[in-house]
Structure 1
């Protein structure tokens, strides 16, 4: 009979572990909890990346400054182009909206 009692206790412990595991799984699969976990992971990776960038900039500040300058030139390329055109005395045509597309004609016959 002791084997039966031992098996019953083992089954109860296994059932309790399974219930706990299912509760944990259900909590992790909750969309809000999943989104929060993903956000925490993104924050952690962003902090790591910022640390790596800080180290790279400290190691080679001239290269970092040149890269930042190129990025700014790219972001403000239209403004820079307009400024250069104004200095040259050329008037740049403003961006005009596109004309509306032609209307489709009906091919129905009226009799």
Structure 2
């Protein structure tokens, strides 16, 4: 089972952000992110909720309790939405990839 620190690293990877970018987004210091990822400390419940909310993941997943691949796909879909890629365009892309 993955731990919070693994999920935090995975979350950064999914979103393609650095420790510094995560720290800025969360109003944390970069050293706090590093300590979380090294497993030196755990965030409090408020920080966990804020992180889960900002990145649209469940607290269970973030805590390492869920083993679910759909979160990766959800992150990709959210990124497409941010970039203005409509569901129709995404469906066309899927059709092209299938060929």
Structure number with bigger Rg: 1
**Fold match (TM-score > 0.5):** no
Q: Which has the higher helix share?
A: 1
* Greater relative contact order structure (CA < 8 Å, 6+ sep): 2
TM-score class normalised by the smaller sequence: under 0.3
